[in-house]
A and B are shown apart, each in its own frame.
Chain A
Amino acid sequence: MITLFKKTPISLAASLGAMIAWEAFSAPQVFDFKDPKGVNNAVFKLDAPLESINGTANGISGTITYDPAEPNALTGRITVAAASLHVPNPLMKEHLHGPNWLDVSRHQEITFESRKVSNVKTSGTDATADVTGILTIKGLSKELTVPVRFTYLKDKLGARSNGQMQGDLLVVRSTFKIKRTDFAINPQAPTDKVAEDIELVLSLAGAAPRR
């Protein structure tokens, strides 16, 4: 390599350019998931025989460090503001935020922190993987593995910010189930009225602005 650099200034410049381009493409990027547009959301569904509860949360923040060339090196933490959970019935929402359910005054955040990424499959700008991490709800933490689909959108931040910023986007989609009683969410409720399984559908987009 040093011999090559010594040959001509043109080859030196070309090699350096190639190295910089490779670094720019392959370096891990930090994607910020704080979303002023309010698109990032988590849908939750509890489908019991007698009653179905369906709502969303959009108070999402956190960062994910992602390298499109090496998705298994992913690290990150996503936070959901517990008070942002919304259901259309006001009384149900009051109960949802109350001490029996999520106790949002004492446990203000729901977090997922990644620990390990496995079973990575890539196809173009898409990658699917099983992400193992620690989910904390109502102060109780549990390790779980969830299937996640990542879509790397290079240079798409400009289109999303009306040209105010330039950079890349990372879209994260995941659907998985958790047990209500694992996190002491209204544990006394009968399962015919409040389902034991909570289905979560995460739809998130993070931005990595170019500096």
Chain B
Amino acid sequence: MRRALYLAGAALATATLTAWLVTGAHRGWTRTSEAVEKTDEVTGLTYRTYQPCLKLGLDALGIGLGLSLAAGLIAWLATPGHNSTKKLL
């Protein structure tokens, strides 16, 4: 059980970090659309259109790494002979 939690935590951390890097390592909020600036030739007005895209932000990275850290912490606390485990149990 302990080993499974460690592995799950490590897998989640790796997956989160990989997904964040692959989607552009965006250092803002997660985005599900991206603005594309265009110019209307007749009027000269600039305008934005939005195209669907996924860019994971620091919020998603934080949640993923936080959950993996929590899994690791629970596994560590569940180590036989650990003082905190005895108190918890």
CB nearest neighbor in A for B30:
A89
**B77 CB, min distance to chain A CBs, angstroms:** 32
Q: Is B45 within 8 A of A171, CB to CB?
A: yes
Identify the A interface with B (CB < 8 A): 37-41, 43, 56, 58, 86, 88-92, 151, 153, 156, 159-160, 169, 171, 173, 203-205
Given contacts A40-B45, A88-B50, A203-B45, 12 further A-B contacts (CB under 8 A): A56-B35, A89-B29, A89-B32, A89-B57, A90-B32, A153-B42, A156-B42, A156-B43, A160-B43, A173-B45, A204-B45, A205-B45
One of B29, B30, B40, B48 near A37 (C-beta < 8 A):
B40
Q: Is B40 within 8 A of A205, CB to CB?
A: yes
Q: Count A-B contacts at CB 8 Å.
A: 59
A43–B46 CA distance with the chains assembled, in angstroms: 11
Q: Is B29 within 8 A of A92, CB to CB?
A: yes
One of B33, B40, B44, B47 near A88 (C-beta < 8 A):
B33
Cβ–Cβ < 8 Å partners of B44 in chain A: 171
**B75 CB, min distance to chain A CBs, angstroms:** 31
CB nearest neighbor in A for B44:
A171
Given contacts A169-B42, A169-B43, contact A38 B49 (CB under 8 A): yes
**B43 CB, min distance to chain A CBs, angstroms:** 4
A148–B36 CA distance with the chains assembled, in angstroms: 25
**A83 CB, min distance to chain B CBs, angstroms:** 15
Interface residues of B in 45-79 (CB under 8 A from A): 45-50, 57
Cβ–Cβ < 8 Å partners of A89 in chain B: 29-32, 57
A40–B35 CA distance with the chains assembled, in angstroms: 15
Name the 6 nearest CB pairs between A and B, nearest first.
A88-B31, A89-B29, A205-B43, A203-B45, A160-B42, A39-B40
Cβ–Cβ < 8 Å partners of A151 in chain B: 43
A160–B35 CA distance with the chains assembled, in angstroms: 23
Q: Is A203 within 8 A of B42, CB to CB?
A: no
A56–B35 CA distance with the chains assembled, in angstroms: 9
A117–B47 CA distance with the chains assembled, in angstroms: 26
Q: Is B43 within 8 A of A39, CB to CB?
A: yes
Cβ–Cβ < 8 Å partners of B29 in chain A: 88-89, 91-92
Cβ–Cβ < 8 Å partners of A37 in chain B: 40
A88–B52 CA distance with the chains assembled, in angstroms: 9
**B15 CB, min distance to chain A CBs, angstroms:** 21
CB nearest neighbor in A for B45:
A203
Given contacts A39-B47, A58-B47, A86-B50, contact A159 B31 (CB under 8 A): no
A89–B54 CA distance with the chains assembled, in angstroms: 10
A40–B49 CA distance with the chains assembled, in angstroms: 11
**A115 CB, min distance to chain B CBs, angstroms:** 25
**A124 CB, min distance to chain B CBs, angstroms:** 14
